[in-house]
């Protein structure tokens, strides 16, 4: 579904990703593990077209998407729930969701939009209760739910999640992740999950990659990674 | 810009009431003039706000959009003998195109430069528009006929020109249209979203560059409309834009940059201040009085008169 | 030798020598007259460049300080027949005091709000020049301002005045370069980079900004003094918002990051209209086109250093 080949990304003159290659198959949950500043978010931002200076190839469903603008990439079927949520804080929950449908919205398919919103409120009932509230006034967990929901509104086939668990209470994290697994089972959505919380990430994924200073140093199936000494030592704190 | 208008109004009022104007009527007269002029300021300020919201730039060519609107309408009406309303329509569409070209061929090219550079580019554009207008139409001032005659009518002894009602009507129209646009349409919401968080706008698949183009189109459009409707009262002249731009900028600041409701109220406040001080204190100092008020607001309430306390604490000015 | 040439002193001396060579080669009094104006403008834009380039603040009211300097010395010498040796310091001090008083509340503002405030102040001063008929002669202005006499030599032609003005320009450049290279200059750069960072490392940003603002006003006042005694006639039209905007444009065209940028920008935009006179009614149009072309092709200014593109996806 998604294939990244020797991707390099630059911030000004700093090379943040050094020839990263990975692939994600349809219906998988793949995770990317790494420490702060290892290039995790840069990778996601590069895929969605937010970083102008990249080299290498990114194939999405057989089509080269590197260098395309983000609105084209979103239209092709990739959505990102970014780090730090990046909501439109002074706008209502409903408006945030509607903006997620920007690329296919038209007056004619309003019904579809309403169904979609209903569906979101079934997934995250908490949001339904707050639909008129301004996004900036929501709690951290609700904001994260809204960020994921907004991404889902654009009908992605590949969902990129950037550290959804940051700053949230364990119970809320569990709630969100349960919803995500359910969603994946029901809709066969492909998810690429970037996490610092390695336990959590390895728990939900099928495969994973480990990134360090802009390079993929390790990849494998869930069990392989869970039993890998390096992973155990560096990310799970077990000797 | 309002001086000939006030003189004219005062002349008519004196004439009609036989020179004996009662102070109440006089005040009413000033109020009416103030609201009219304020509406124009408000329109210019709304134009400032739309571009500011999408780019963070203060567009010093905003006043020149107004000038161009008036000049082009006069050109269609007087030189090409196109009917008045059609001339206005043509003028407004052309100004809108100019606004879009300006964005595509100037702002877009250097959009990653510092804000000061971008502002200087709008100043260059302002000089360019002015130079172009002077080159094409010379240094004369032109007038358009009023949309529905020049026969004033009376309101409690004060005179109102029919054109005044057109101006107020158009302000109302523009504001309602913008409100509907920003509140109920997806494109309007997307534009608002861009002003709040450009990165997030990109993430949800909004074409931010197109939104910026649209914002220039919209403010040029509003500027053009203001130019057409005000020309019957204040004449069109190649150099009219600067002062209007200055007043519009002041209005936008007073109302709080980016705040549309604020711009309307601030426009009317500045218009009233000018007319009251012109009528009651001194016409030479009317601008100074308006400016001093503006400075006082800036010093004591830098977010504009309508900024909320909490908002002021968060923002830096 | 090389390092000696790099001192502010050497640079200022070289500027002066160069200006004299220029005068000798030009000879034509008309051109020399244009260059006298150029010198006067450079004095103002040097101050503005310190403010814009080194503190990142903007002033759209610089013409006001120029005007206050010019009008004060003009009024003192014609109405009160005061000698120039007294009128100069008085006009300078008055401008500095006014700049100081208005600077305190104004410089608390930033960005567009600061631009509006300085613009408003400039306009108010301009209106006062127009309306204070008894002192300023109103819109038609007043004349008969005496010429400057130094050591018994009256500066009664363009060449003498040229030398006088450019000596002062060189001195101002010397002063400004010294400021830039001093500890204060480095602190100023820090303000430009980020005010919060600067204040956390113990720089009193508010005070420094105010000093530079007042210094810029002082420069403008000196320029006003030179202008008044050169033209010997003052009217408010010179000190309008348009002139303030022109000054800011000069600095931006040359490049805000450097004082020499201001010198170059001022030279280009002062000499350019002289050539454009040839085009009569086109002149504003062509001026606009050239200005636009410069800003589009070199947004960092003619003398600016190309700043690497900041495209983190956050802005623009």
Residue B239 has pLDDT above 70, yes or no: yes
- Length of chain A counted residue by residue: 239
Q: How confident is the model at residue C305 (pLDDT cuts 50, 70, 90)?
A: low
Residue C132 has pLDDT above 70, yes or no: yes
Say if B197 falls within a structural domain.
Answer: no
Average pLDDT of the segment spanning C38-60: 91
Q: What is the pLDDT at residue C22?
A: 85
Chains meeting C at 3+ CB pairs closer than 8 A? A, B
The per-residue pLDDT for range A95-154, each reduced to its tens digit, is 999 999 998 888 888 888 899 999 999 999 999 999 899 998 999 999 999 999 999 999
Inter-chain contacts counted by CB atoms under 8 A, chains A and C:
12
Check CB contact under 8 Å for B131 and C282.
yes
Average pLDDT of the segment spanning A33-54: 89
Distance CA A56, CA A16 (A): 14
Distance CA A113, CA A30 (A): 29
Give strand pairing partners of A162: A194
Q: Which of residues 251-270 of C touch B (CB under 8 A)?
A: 252-253, 256
Per DSSP (E only), the strands in chain B are 153-155, 158-160
Distance CA A217, CA A38 (A): 11
The nearest alpha carbon in chain C to A11 belongs to: C312
Average pLDDT of the segment spanning C197-206: 73
Say if B117 falls within a structural domain.
Answer: yes
Check CB contact under 8 Å for A74 and B207.
no
Average pLDDT of the segment spanning C234-241: 90
Check CB contact under 8 Å for C310 and A12.
yes
Inter-chain contacts counted by CB atoms under 8 A, chains B and C:
142
Residue C43's alpha-carbon distances to A162, C40, C82, C216, in angstroms, are 54, 5, 25, 9
Residue C156 has pLDDT above 50, yes or no: yes
Residue B244's alpha-carbon distances to B250, B252, C168, in angstroms, are 10, 12, 38
CB contacts of A82 in chain B (<8 Å) are: 199-200, 203
Share of chain B above pLDDT 70, in %: 90
Q: What is the pLDDT at residue B293?
A: 87
Quick one: angle between helices C205-231 and C158-181, nearest 10?
170
Q: Would you call C27 an interface residue with chain A, using a CB distance cutoff of 8 Å?
A: no
Mention every residue, 6+ apart, whose C-beta is less than 8 A from residue B212.
B54, B55, B103, B107, B108, B111, B194
Residue B135 has pLDDT above 60, yes or no: yes
Residue B314 has pLDDT above 70, yes or no: no
Say if B40 falls within a structural domain.
Answer: yes
Average pLDDT of the segment spanning C169-175: 94
Q: What is the pLDDT at residue B10?
A: 52
Residue B1 has pLDDT above 50, yes or no: no
Chain B nearest CA to A95, separation (Å): 8
Q: What is the pLDDT at residue B20?
A: 52
CB contacts of A46 in chain B (<8 Å) are: none
The per-residue pLDDT for range B36-94, each reduced to its tens digit, is 999 999 999 999 999 998 888 889 999 999 999 999 999 999 999 999 999 999 999 99
Check CB contact under 8 Å for A100 and B189.
no
Q: Integer distance in angstroms from the first to the last C-alpha of chain A? A: 36
Q: Would you call C313 an interface residue with chain A, using a CB distance cutoff of 8 Å?
A: yes
Say if B256 falls within a structural domain.
Answer: yes
Check CB contact under 8 Å for C316 and B129.
no
Asked whether the CA dihedral B148, B151, B155, B160 is positive or negative, the reply is positive
Structure tokens at A211: 């990134």
Q: How confident is the model at residue C1 (pLDDT cuts 50, 70, 90)?
A: very low
Distance CA A64, CA A56 (A): 10
Distance CA C229, CA A217 (A): 76
**Token match 């009023």: residue?**
B146
Distance CA C97, CA C94 (A): 5
Task: Please check whether residue B13 is in contact with residue B158, taking contact to mean a CB–CB distance below 8 angstroms.
Answer: yes
Chain A nearest CA to C130, separation (Å): 46
Distance CA B133, CA C122 (A): 27
Facing residue for B186 by CB, picked from A48, A88, A98: A98
What are the sequence ranges of the domains in chain C?
Answer: 2-240
ipTM over 0.85: yes
Average pLDDT, chain A: 90
Residue C203 has pLDDT above 80, yes or no: no
Check CB contact under 8 Å for A99 and B186.
yes
Say if B188 falls within a structural domain.
Answer: no
Say if B171 falls within a structural domain.
Answer: yes
Task: Please check whether residue B139 is in contact with residue B145, taking contact to mean a CB–CB distance below 8 angstroms.
Answer: no
Facing residue for A51 by CB, picked from C309, C310, C313: C313
Q: What is the pLDDT at residue B307?
A: 66
Domains and CATH numbers, chain A: 1-75+158-163+190-239 (3.40.50.300), 78-155 (no CATH)
Facing residue for B257 by CB, picked from C112, C128, C299: C112
The per-residue pLDDT for range B23-34, each reduced to its tens digit, is 888 889 999 999
Share of chain B above pLDDT 90, in %: 57
Chains meeting A at 3+ CB pairs closer than 8 A? B, C
Distance CA C71, CA B137 (A): 36
Q: What is the pLDDT at residue C315?
A: 33
Q: Would you call C316 an interface residue with chain A, using a CB distance cutoff of 8 Å?
A: no
Chain C nearest CA to A11, separation (Å): 7
CB contacts of C288 in chain B (<8 Å) are: 124-125, 127-132
Mention every residue, 6+ apart, whose C-beta is less than 8 A from residue B144.
B70, B73, B74, B77, B84, B87, B228, B231, B232, B236
Q: What is the pLDDT at residue B71?
A: 96
CB contacts of A91 in chain B (<8 Å) are: 189, 192-193, 196
CATH of the domain at B220: 1.10.3470
Q: What is the pLDDT at residue B308?
A: 59
Q: What is the pLDDT at residue C222?
A: 97
Facing residue for A50 by CB, picked from C308, C310, C313: C313
Say if B198 falls within a structural domain.
Answer: no
User: How many folded domains does chain B comprise?
Assistant: 1
CB contacts of C309 in chain B (<8 Å) are: 112
Say if B271 falls within a structural domain.
Answer: yes
Average pLDDT of the segment spanning C5-27: 82
The per-residue pLDDT for range B279-301, each reduced to its tens digit, is 888 888 888 888 898 888 888 87
Chain A nearest CA to C1, separation (Å): 36
Range of the domain at B99: 3-177+208-314
**Neighbouring C-beta atoms of residue A109, cutoff 10 Å:** 13
Check CB contact under 8 Å for A12 and C309.
yes
Check CB contact under 8 Å for B200 and A87.
yes
Q: What is the pLDDT at residue C316?
A: 29
The per-residue pLDDT for range A146-167, each reduced to its tens digit, is 999 999 999 999 999 999 988 8
Q: What is the pLDDT at residue C309?
A: 42
Q: Integer distance in angstroms from the first to the last C-alpha of chain B? A: 30
User: What's the burial of A227, exposed, middle or buried (CB within 10 Å: 0-12/13-18/19+)?
Assistant: exposed
Average pLDDT, chain C: 86
Q: Would you call B130 an interface residue with chain C, using a CB distance cutoff of 8 Å?
A: yes
Residue C13 has pLDDT above 90, yes or no: no
Torsion of CA C270, C273, C274, C278, to 10 degrees: 170
Share of chain C above pLDDT 90, in %: 41
């Amino acid at each position: 579904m998604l294939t990244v080949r020797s991707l390099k990304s630059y911030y000004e003159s700093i090379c943040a990703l050094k020839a990263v290659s990975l692939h994600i198959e349809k219906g998988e949950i793949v995770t990317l593990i790494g420490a702060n500043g290892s290039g995790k978010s840069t990778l996601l931002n590069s895929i969605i077209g937010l970083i102008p200076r990249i080299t290498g190839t990114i194939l999405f469903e057989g089509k080269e998407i590197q260098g395309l603008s983000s609105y084209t990439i979103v239209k092709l079927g990739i959505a990102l729930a970014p780090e730090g949520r990046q909501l439109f804080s002074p706008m209502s929950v409903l408006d945030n969701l509607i903006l997620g449908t920007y690329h296919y919205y038209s007056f004619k398919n309003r019904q579809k939009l309403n169904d979609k919103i209903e569906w979101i409120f079934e997934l995250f009932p908490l949001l339904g209760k707050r639909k008129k509230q301004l996004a900036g006034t929501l709690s951290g967990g609700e904001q994260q739910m809204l960020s994921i929901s907004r991404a889902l509104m654009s009908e992605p086939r590949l969902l990129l999640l950037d550290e959804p668990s940051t700053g949230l209470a364990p119970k809320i994290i569990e709630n969100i992740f349960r919803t995500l697994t359910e969603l994946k089972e029901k809709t066969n959505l492909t998810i690429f999950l970037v996490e610092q919380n390695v336990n959590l990430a390895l728990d939900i994924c099928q495969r994973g990659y480990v990134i360090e200073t802009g390079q993929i140093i390790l990849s494998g199936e869930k069990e392989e990674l869970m039993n890998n000494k390096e992973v155990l030592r560096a990310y799970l704190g077990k000797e | 810009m309002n001086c000939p208008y006030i003189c004219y109004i005062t002349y008519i009022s004196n004439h009609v009431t036989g020179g004996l104007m009662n102070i109440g009527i006089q005040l009413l007269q000033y109020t009416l003039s103030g609201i009219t002029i304020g509406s124009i300021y408000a329109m210019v300020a709304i134009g400032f706000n739309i571009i500011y919201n999408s780019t963070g730039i203060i567009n010093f060519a905003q006043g020149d959009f107004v000038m161009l609107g008036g000049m082009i309408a006069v050109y269609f009406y007087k030189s090409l003998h196109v009917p008045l309303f059609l001339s206005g329509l043509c003028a407004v569409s052309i100004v809108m195109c100019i606004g879009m070209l300006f964005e595509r061929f100037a702002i877009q090219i250097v959009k990653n430069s510092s804000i000061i550079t971008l502002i200087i580019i709008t100043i260059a554009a302002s000089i360019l528009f002015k130079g172009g207008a002077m080159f094409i139409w010379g240094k004369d001032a032109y007038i358009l006929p009023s949309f529905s005659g020049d026969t004033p009518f009376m309101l409690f002894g004060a005179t109102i020109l029919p054109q005044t009602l057109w101006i107020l009507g158009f302000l109302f129209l523009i504001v309602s249209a913008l409100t509907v646009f920003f509140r109920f349409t997806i494109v309007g919401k997307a534009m608002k979203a861009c002003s709040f968080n450009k990165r997030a706008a990109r993430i949800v698949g909004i074409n931010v560059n197109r939104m910026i183009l649209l914002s220039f189109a919209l403010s040029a459009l509003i500027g053009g409309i203001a130019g057409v409707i005000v020309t019957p009262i204040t004449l069109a002249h190649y150099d009219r834009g600067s002062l209007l731009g200055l007043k519009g900028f002041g209005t936008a600041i007073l109302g709080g940059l980016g705040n549309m409701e604020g711009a309307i109220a601030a426009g009317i406040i500045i218009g009233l201040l000018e007319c009251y001080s012109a009528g009651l204190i001194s016409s030479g100092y009317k601008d100074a009085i308006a400016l001093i008020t503006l400075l006082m607001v800036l010093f004591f309430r830098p977010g504009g008169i309508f900024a909320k306390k909490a908002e002021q604490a968060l923002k830096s000015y | 030798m090389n390092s000696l040439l790099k001192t502010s002193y050497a640079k200022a001396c070289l500027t002066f020598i160069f200006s004299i060579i220029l005068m000798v080669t030009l000879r034509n009094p008309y051109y020399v007259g244009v260059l006298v104006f150029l010198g006067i403008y450079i004095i103002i834009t040097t101050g503005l460049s310190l403010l814009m380039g080194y503190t990142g603040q903007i002033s759209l009211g610089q013409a006001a300080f120029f005007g206050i300097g010019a009008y004060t010395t003009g009024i003192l010498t014609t109405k009160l027949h005061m000698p120039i040796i007294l009128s100069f310091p008085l006009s300078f001090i008055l401008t500095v005091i006014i700049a100081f008083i208005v600077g305190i509340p104004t410089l608390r503002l930033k960005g567009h709000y600061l631009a509006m405030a300085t613009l408003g102040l400039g306009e108010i001063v301009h209106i006062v020049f127009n309306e204070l008929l008894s002192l300023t002669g109103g819109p038609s202005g007043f004349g008969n301002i005496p010429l400057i006499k130094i050591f018994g030599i009256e500066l009664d032609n363009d060449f003498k005045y040229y030398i006088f003005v450019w000596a002062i320009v060189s001195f101002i450049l010397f002063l400004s370069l010294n400021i830039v290279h001093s500890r204060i200059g480095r602190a100023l750069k820090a303000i430009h980079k980020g005010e919060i960072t600067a204040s956390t490392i113990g720089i009193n940003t508010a005070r420094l900004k105010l000093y530079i603002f007042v210094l810029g006003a002082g420069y403008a006042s000196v320029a006003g003094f030179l202008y008044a005694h050169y033209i010997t006639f003052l009217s408010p039209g010179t000190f309008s918002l348009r002139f303030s905007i022109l000054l800011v444009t000069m600095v931006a065209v040359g490049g805000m990051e450097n004082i020499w940028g201001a010198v170059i920008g001022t030279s280009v935009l002062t000499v350019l209209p002289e050539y454009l006179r040839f085009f009569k009614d086109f002149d504003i149009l062509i001026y606009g086109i050239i200005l636009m072309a410069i800003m589009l092709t070199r947004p960092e200014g003619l003398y600016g250093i190309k700043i690497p593109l900041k495209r983190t996806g956050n802005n623009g």
